Structure 1
Amino acid sequence: MQRLVQLALDLFDPPGPQERAAGASPSVAGLPTEKIKPERPVALIDKAQEAPETGASAALPSAAPAPALASLLSPAEFRHPQANREVLLGDALVAYALQRVRRRSIGFTVGADGLAVRAPSWVTLSAVDAALREKSGWILRKLNESRERQQRIEGGRIAWGHGAQLPYLGEALTVVLDPTHGFIGKGGALHGGSEDAGGTSLRIGLPHSASPAQIRDAVQAWLMRDARRHFTARLDHFAPLLDVRWTSLRLSSAQTRWGSAKADGSIRLNWRLLHYRPAIIDYVVAHELAHLRVMDHSPRFWGTVATVVPDYPVLRNALREQPAPLWE
């Protein structure tokens, strides 16, 4: 049976009913699927989950040739933690999580855990496997990309202690425990700079016997204070340029979203953005302020962003490709 297979990849999650009612902007890192009317009863819609990111929608050509499987099969097994079915895609064994749902199409998601498939109850298992094999090249490529990303994230896990390193505004920052300094009201202080041989350090008033959790919490408290200072300055910079007015700023610790905005002018930004270089932070700040003029991700919205951050596509991709370090 000839089967129409649809692929769509959109990097934004449109606001739900409650968000629309409150005037909230779409998620910066959502991952919806684009609906395409099927010509056959079974359609296949795929999407790849990434770490917190921003981006415009990009269609995946269904007729594109699959990449050479030999370059995708290292290792040649991918297993979802809740896997309940296996399929052989080329030479790679893919154990995926299959969920039966009330819908008219087969959907699959490639994320950090692996391949998850949602299919109508009336679709046979063989039809599900056949649909996955038809797009095996795309699935394997995304599985490998997801695994490599997770490895990069794990490799960037912060080892909390004296001398711990983490990115700060795109540069390396070394944590120095300095029990002789109280840092009253500040919790810590920056020393040095990129031009110094020792680089930049963040001195925290804790003894060397402090636990990793104490050090982590002290550094986070300092970064959150600094994030508020930095974000406020950039909001004040871009708001007049976009002819909008922001009313409040809240810091977020969300794992899947870098920021959001509401029609009343309230802005929420993830304090972890402070890990990234200033240009990337500016992109996210401008992105959220632009939502005060256009509450969607239409061409008009992106045109608004481009008026103040013309190279936003490059910065958006950099945010997507550079995962923030793990804190836990």
Structure 2
Amino acid sequence: MQRLVQLALDLWGGGTPAPTAPGARPPAPAPHAPDAGALRVNSDQNRPPALDAPGPDAIKKVAERNRPPAARPAAAPPAEPLGTLLAPAIFRHPRAQREVLLGDALIGYALQRARRRSIGFTVGPDGLAVRAPGWVTIAGIEQALQEKSDWILRKLAEAQTRQDKQASGRIVWRDGAVLPYLGAPLTVVLDPTHGFTGQGAALVDEPAADPAGGAAAPARTLRVGLSRSASPEQVRDAVQAWLMRAARSHFTRRLDHFAPLLGVRWTRLRLSSAETRWGSAKTDGSIRLNWRLLHYAPAVIDYVVAHELAHLRVMDHSPRFWDTVASVMPDYAGLRNQLRDQPAPLWE
């Protein structure tokens, strides 16, 4: 029985898919959805693959394999308790039903049976998910996992590194909180005496002191009309409300800039708080963009805007689509990498 393997990874979720195994038939093309122009978050904001304490059986297997042959006793018990031996890392999907040992890592993966012609692997923020035809045995699935173990382990490590970066950039919602805005630091200042004409907050360029005594670039601050005793939730909500207004204004200007260049017409802008998509486009001209894009540099935002508008001409990710993007963003590949490699801060 010919086993068919296809390794699929969402373009925006952390890399490109691994190649299909030799001799495998390609999967049947999926029907085209109206919102096929979805740009996904690396997300971002999801749980990392869990690192747990391994079970004794897994530890024993790894320790036995790693021990040099000359040092392997014939029948003697281990010189040290199992808990002191080198333990494998564990990556466990929150919906994992099965486990497999890949190299020195124990992988808990979510398995879904599907009507498809090949085995598909997806590595995302939650870990490894597998979709396989009903006729493929568990042994066949896990053999395929072993064959692609290097790729799977690399992508799992990248997803965890990304989550660590997000955690280190977590925003502490208080007076003096700092968050990225258009690619530069923005400091939140609680100022109940400031008049904001109903907006609740205002962007201000404050004079900055230069220790060397020379001229310094002004420090950008967001003055929020709250008392310094405001709760973290109040501060967060006020900042989010201001950012969403700023995002709508910024996105509208950039849509109006790129649409004529691409020869398309957009009809509606909706802001999104999705955890897995930066944006999407529909054939009726409606565009959805994630307001958290405002954390990134203007050029990165322009890439996402141009990407979604390009879908109004080509509703897939074929070479013709990327040629359309490149016609207005020649350096789109580098900007796409920035979006993937620089996660937005976690909001809580």
TM-score normalised by structure 1 residue count: 0.78
Look up the match of 2:16: none
Residues 264-312 of structure 1, C-alpha deviations (whole Å, 9 max, x = no match): 3322211111100000111111112222222222222221211111101
Alpha-carbon distance in structure 2 between the residues aligned to 1:144 and 1:93: 13
Look up the match of 1:284: 304
1:15–1:26 contact (8 Å) kept in structure 2: no
Look up the match of 1:242: 262
Q: Could you say what secondary structure the match of 1:126 adopts?
A: helix
Query: Is structure 2 residue 320 aligned with structure 1 residue 300?
Result: yes
Look up the match of 1:62: none
Following superposition, which runs of at least 4 residues in structure 1 exceed 4 angstroms of deviation? 1-4, 12-17, 193-198
Structure 1 pair 229–148 and aligned structure 2 pair: CA distance change class (3 A): same
**Percentage of pairs with the same residue:** 71
2:184–2:297 contact (8 Å) kept in structure 1: yes
Structure 1 pair 307–202 and aligned structure 2 pair: CA distance change class (3 A): same
Structure 1 pair 165–74 and aligned structure 2 pair: CA distance change class (3 A): farther
Look up the match of 2:72: none
Identify which range, 95-104 or 8-17, moves more after superposition. Answer: 8-17
Give the counterpart letter for 1:264 in structure 2.
D
Look up the match of 2:167: 154
Query: Is structure 2 residue 47 aligned with structure 1 residue 27?
Result: no
Alpha-carbon distance in structure 2 between the residues aligned to 1:277 and 1:149: 19
Q: Could you say what secondary structure the match of 1:98 adopts?
A: strand
Query: Is structure 2 residue 174 aligned with structure 1 residue 174?
Result: no
1:12–1:26 contact (8 Å) kept in structure 2: no
Superposition map of 1:199-278 within 5 A: 199-278=219-298
Superposition map of 1:128-143 within 5 A: 128-143=141-156
1:15–1:27 contact (8 Å) kept in structure 2: no
Alpha-carbon distance in structure 1 between the residues aligned to 2:30 and 2:301: 23
Look up the match of 1:316: 336
- Structure 2 gap segments, 5+ residues each: 14-28, 45-65, 67-85, 209-214
Residues 12-42 of structure 1, C-alpha deviations (whole Å, 9 max, x = no match): 799866x43xxx4421128xxxxxxxxxxxx
Structure 1 pair 292–173 and aligned structure 2 pair: CA distance change class (3 A): same
Superposition map of 1:76-87 within 5 A: 76-87=89-100
TM-score normalised by structure 2 residue count: 0.74
1:170–1:275 contact (8 Å) kept in structure 2: yes
Look up the match of 1:92: 105
Look up the match of 1:47: none
Measured after TM superposition, the shift of residue 261 of structure 1 is: 2.2
Look up the match of 1:11: 11
Q: Could you say what secondary structure the match of 1:108 adopts?
A: strand
Alpha-carbon distance in structure 2 between the residues aligned to 1:124 and 1:280: 44
Alpha-carbon distance in structure 2 between the residues aligned to 1:158 and 1:15: 40
Structure 1 pair 126–291 and aligned structure 2 pair: CA distance change class (3 A): closer
Tell me how large the CA RMSD over aligned residues is: 2.8
Look up the match of 2:75: none
Q: Could you say what secondary structure the match of 2:202 adopts?
A: strand
Alpha-carbon distance in structure 1 between the residues aligned to 2:87 and 2:306: 40
**Residues paired across the two proteins, number:** 286
Look up the match of 2:130: 117
Alpha-carbon distance in structure 1 between the residues aligned to 2:148 and 2:168: 30
